Amino acid sequence: MKKITVLPTWCFRDDAGNQLDLQLLRLLGAVYRRGKLTQAAEDVGISYRHAWNLLRQGSAFFGVALVEMQRGRGAQLTPLGEKLLWAEQRAVARLGPQLESLGSELNLAIAREQQGQVSVLRLHASHGFAVELLPKHLTALPLDLQYCSPQESLAALNRGSCDVAGFHLPRGAVGERIRATYQGLLKPQEHRVIGFITRTQGLMVAPGNPLCIQGVASLTAEGVRFVNRQASSGTRSLLDCLLSEAEVASVAIRGFEVEEFTHSAVAAYVAAGMADVGFGVQAGAEKFGLDFIPLAVEDYLLACHHHALKEPRLQSFLEVLSGEAFQQAVQALPGYRPSRCGEVMEVESVLDVDSQSE
């Protein structure tokens, strides 16, 4: 079945109606990575001459050079060139989850128009690199994927608004407070838990860790600028627990109120030099060339109604999760590992609660 992907695009237009060739943004990214215009042009798939023309057009459009060429030192972005590059990266990271959800809705509508009534798996979960893999592997099963917080996902499961809901449980003592928040939402007699993945969370810092940040206590150091996740996210809940455990007051952290909505957006914010440190998954840090300080390992789990496990769509879903192809894809993500992936468990074994506590 054909699937549609929704991607964000830019349009730069000046007062005279002139538009910028968006291939320039790809070229700037390649210059940043490679440090040489010849190699950057090869990466983008254009000639060296065309690369020069793009840079000249860009400089004429903005009235400022975007790349500096220095003999013996290759090419490097000017401050405006870097700002353009990171602005695009942040925008893509911010819009990505919403556009993925929109793409999911469009693909579902297309399938219904082409095939009539179709069996759909409705998954509500927080955005993450492993969840992003699911649409690519569930090729035979239409997936209605909506991104939301763990509490919102589990509430949707209880309302009957989704079939599968994602939630996080940090390992160790730091996860006890988060574990308690799920006890009213996960019901041992009604629900079952499906194993999914583990992921490592920690601090994302500039390459070389120039401010010598060691842990959450370093976030209050003079001059350190922090970028946060939104208050409803599972990652924010984990950070709050780590701060409480270390007796670090959030009001003492400069930038604690600055929020981004994905791990990639946090990483892009730090990579752009707008903050010195952010909190998120290792995969996000490595994607943007940042150093990573691991602080916690958490289980990312899925929940469903026990009666749904008999349905073909859930059986197909479990087969994909337990399959070698999906698990190898997870293994390729830095800091991610399959963990009892596709295995069905009792709620009590996960939350360690009395089965009569409903």
- Tell me the mean pLDDT per 10 residues along the chain, length 358: 76 88 92 92 95 94 92 86 87 81 80 72 94 90 90 96 96 87 91 98 97 97 96 93 95 96 93 95 95 97 96 96 98 97 95 47
Predicted confidence at residue 115, as pLDDT, reads 67
Predicted confidence at residue 117, as pLDDT, reads 62
Q: Which helix (H) or strand (E) holds 324?
A: helix 324-331
The residues facing 192 across adjacent strands are 304, 346
Backbone angles phi and psi of 123, in degrees to 5: -115, 125
Q: If DSSP codes are grouped into helix, strand and coil, which group holds residue 201?
A: strand
Q: Which helix (H) or strand (E) holds 48?
A: helix 48-62
Is the separation of the CB atoms in 131 and 145 below 8 Å? yes
Predicted confidence at residue 1, as pLDDT, reads 60
Q: How far apart are CA 78 and CA 65, in angstroms?
A: 7
Predicted confidence at residue 353, as pLDDT, reads 44
Q: What is the pTM of this model?
A: 0.84
Do the domains at 23-77 and 87-351 have one common CATH topology? Answer: no
Question: Between 3.40.50.200, 1.10.10.10, 1.10.3720.10, 3.90.1150.10, what CATH number should domain 23-77 receive?
Answer: 1.10.10.10
- Rg, Å, the chain Cα set: 23
The domain segmentation of the chain, as residue ranges, is: 23-77, 87-351
Assigned fold of 87-351: D-Maltodextrin-Binding Protein; domain 2 (3.40.190)
The residues facing 13 across adjacent strands are 19
Between helix 37-44 and helix 48-62 the angle, nearest 10°, is 100
Q: How far apart are CA 302 and CA 168, in angstroms?
A: 9
Q: If DSSP codes are grouped into helix, strand and coil, which group holds residue 17?
A: coil
